[in-house]
Amino acid sequence: FNKNHQKMFNGDTLVGQELYHNMIILPKSVMDSTFYVFVAGVTLPDTGLWYNVVDMKLQGGLGQVVQKNVLLEHHPVQDMLAAVRHGNGKDWWLLTRRWTYAPGYVKNNEFWVYLVDSSGIYPQPVQFEGVSHFDNAGDMTINPAGDKLVLTGLGSHIGVFNFNRCTGAISNEVVVEMFDPPGSYFKAYFSGSFSPDGSKLYALS
């Protein structure tokens, strides 16, 4: 929708679901009026990571979707998208996780990281970090300094990682809590957040 609370031109029939943390919007560059709208599709037939492009200069400043439903990754993506500004102060890192749910839920520790800059979207090598666990319906949140990432999810999982804003590298998980019996979801942490000074971590179950 635009600022007048009306449907944006060409803004209908975007794939994806309004669940948890499935959507995130990033600017194409600090000097542009174009934005990426990323969507995690977690159910058939829309599984995958998708993006749309909005140009806010069009339609008299009300904006227009100029690219729609572009598939970036075809594998199921967990409904948790996160982003943080690159160490250079102008580009962005987009973070996702693979969701492997058939046949049966499968543990994984895969982080998929993308560099988003003024020229495009660039997938980085898949990172296998931290404890493999059953996961979905959680969240990834990065602290205000941009150097810590908390992963929350089903199975009572709370893990804190280091994050490198210059390279996009994730490392050194500290497991705060995990209770992950096979085939059972003991507790779900749906979201996590850091205090403004980064000294405290909050989790919502």
> Which amino acid, one-letter code, is at 46?
D
Q: Which two tokens stand for residue 101?
A: 């749910």
pLDDT above 70 (res 85)? yes
Q: Across residues 136-151, what is the average pLDDT? A: 90
Question: Residue 103, preceding bond cis, omega within 30 degrees?
Answer: yes
pLDDT tier for residue 102 given thresholds of 50, 70 and 90 = low
| Model pTM score | 0.90
- DSSP β-ladder status, 108-117 and 127-133: antiparallel
pLDDT of residue 2: 93
Q: Residue ranges of the alpha helices (H) in the chain?
A: 58-61
CA 63 – CA 5 distance, rounded (Å): 12
Q: Which pLDDT tens digit goes with each residue over 62-75?
A: 999 999 999 999 88
Residue with the bigger pLDDT between 76 and 140: it is 140
